Each structure stands twice: as structure tokens, then as C-alpha cells.
């Protein structure tokens, strides 16, 4: 690889992925995936069902193992300082990762202890931002699927994470809630955050550039 070009790229891009490949059950899902992302930019991973969108997201946050390729975060290989990279990411996967026997408020409080919490962020602010202000002391078991999804997304607001990795964030959300989440994503990009997501629904990120990669073609 020509080092000059990649150095230039690294200087401006916060996140660079090169030649990523993933094999699952002896089937190659994708290979040669390249992209780079600057502060305030979003990337949307597209592709038909089973093309590896979720696998790519999981691979980026280190849940899945890479078969090949490199991921650099702020000019450093993510394998060199995993903890620092992990402190910078906020991930909401297919599963919500919230406990149904805890209240929304408790879920957020416990979740923020596992990562790097944002200064001055409180669970009531985070829940208000996703439209669940009045539900903070309700057990998540009694919330609807869309409300549970919103609790999971509110977790992002508790963390001081620059890079958000979201797998179908708008699943189960009604139109109003989806708009609230879009506003939350735009606010994240406004402050120089980065966003990578998969979605089957159109998403409005305002003036922020939305890059696209298509898997499975």
C-alpha cells in the first residue's frame, strides 16, 4: 500500500477502514470494504438481508473478528489501544441490551458505569431527549417495543462516545419517535461526532454528509 496516500487520508479522517473482510459459516459475506469518515460525517451501510451489514458493524466495534483488513481510529490501529477505542464508541445493536426487570432510569445509570460517561449527563435528560421523560421509573418490561428501543438509544446520550454504531436504530419506532431520534443523531453530528448505521428506513440527517456503502453486490 502506498503510505503517502494513506497518511494523507489518516490526517483528515477520524475513522479509516481498509480491506475489511468477513467470513461466516464458511461463506464470504464481504471483502475489500474500504471507507473513511471525518468528524460530523455519517455512513450508511446498505445491502439486502444477509449481506453482512450487522456483521460489519459488529466487526467495527470488535465483537466480531476480522478475517482481514485494518481499522484505524484517529490515526492509530484499534488493536493497539483497544480500551481507548472502546471508550470512544457507543453501540446499539440488534438487541437492545436493556434489562426488562430494571426501570429505564436504572438501565441508563448502570449502563453508564460500564463506559466513559459524559460529564453532567443525567438519565432524566437522556430520557427526555428520546421522549420518555414520564417513563423513567417504569419497569422496562411494561414498555412497548418502540419505547424499549428508545431507552437503548438514550444510553448513547449517557456516554462520552464520539463514534456511534447503530444497527437499525429506527426499528419499532413510530414517526414522531423516529423524528426525535433523527434530531438526536443530527445533534451528535453537529458536535463533531461520527455515525455509522444500517437502516431500511429513509433517514434525515439534515445538512450532514451521508456516505453510503453497499454490501452484497
Least Å from the CB of residue 12 to other proteins: 25
Least Å from the CB of residue 135 to other proteins: 18
Nearer to other proteins, 5 or 114 (CB): 114
Least Å from the CB of residue 83 to other proteins: 5
Least Å from the CB of residue 88 to other proteins: 8
Least Å from the CB of residue 64 to other proteins: 6
Nearer to other proteins, 15 or 89 (CB): 89
**Which residues, other chains included, contact 76 with Cβ-Cβ below 8 Å and sequence gap of 6+?**
none
Nearer to other proteins, 74 or 99 (CB): 99
Q: Which DSSP string do the residues of the chain spell out, in sequence order? A: --HHHHHHHHHH-SEEEEEEEEEETTEEEEEEEEEEE-TT-EEEEE-STTSSHHHHHHHHTTSSPPSEEEEEETTEETTTTHHHHHHHEEEE-SS----TTSBHHHHHHHHHHHS-BPTT--HHHHHHHTT-GGGTTSBGGGS-HHHHHHHHHHHHHHB--SEEEEESTTTT--HHHHHHHHHHHHHHHHTT-EEEEE-SS----TTS-EEEEE---
Residues lying near other proteins in the complex (CB under 8 A) are found at: 61-65, 83-84, 86-87, 89, 91, 93-102, 106, 110-111, 113-119, 160
Least Å from the CB of residue 87 to other proteins: 4
Instruction: Report the alpha-carbon distance of residue 190 to residue 139 in Å, rounded.
Output: 33
Nearer to other proteins, 111 or 170 (CB): 111
Q: How many CB atoms lie within 10 A of CB 112?
A: 20
Nearer to other proteins, 39 or 102 (CB): 102
Nearer to other proteins, 69 or 211 (CB): 69
The label of the residue with cell 489501544 reads 81
Amino acid at each position: 500500500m502506498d503510505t503517502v496516500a494513506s497518511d494523507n487520508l489518516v490526517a483528515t479522517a477520524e475513522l479509516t477502514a481498509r480491506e475489511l473482510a468477513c467470513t461466516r459459516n464458511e461463506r464470504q459475506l464481504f471483502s475489500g470494504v474500504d471507507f473513511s469518515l471525518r468528524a460530523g460525517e455519517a455512513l450508511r451501510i446498505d445491502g439486502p438481508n444477509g449481506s453482512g451489514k450487522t456483521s460489519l458493524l459488529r466487526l467495527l466495534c470488535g465483537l466480531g473478528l476480522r478475517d482481514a483488513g485494518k481499522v484505524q481510529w484517529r490515526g492509530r490501529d484499534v488493536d493497539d489501544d483497544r480500551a481507548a477505542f472502546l471508550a470512544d464508541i457507543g453501540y446499539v445493536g440488534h438487541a437492545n441490551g436493556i434489562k426488562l426487570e430494571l426501570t429505564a432510569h436504572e438501565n441508563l445509570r448502570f449502563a453508564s458505569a460500564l463506559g466513559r460517561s459524559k460529564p453532567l449527563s443525567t438519565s432524566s435528560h437522556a430520557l427526555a431527549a428520546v421522549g420518555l421523560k414520564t417513563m423513567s421509573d417504569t419497569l422496562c418490561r411494561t414498555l412497548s417495543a418502540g419505547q424499549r428501543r428508545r431507552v437503548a438509544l438514550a444510553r448513547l446520550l449517557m456516554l462520552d462516545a464520539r463514534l456511534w454504531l447503530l444497527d437499525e436504530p429506527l426499528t419499532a419506532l413510530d414517526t414522531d419517535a423516529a423524528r426525535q431520534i433523527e434530531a438526536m443523531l443530527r445533534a451528535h453530528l453537529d458536535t463533531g461526532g461520527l455515525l455509522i448505521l444500517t437502516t431500511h428506513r429513509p433517514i434525515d440527517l439534515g445538512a450532514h454528509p451521508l456516505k453510503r456503502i453497499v454490501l452484497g453486490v
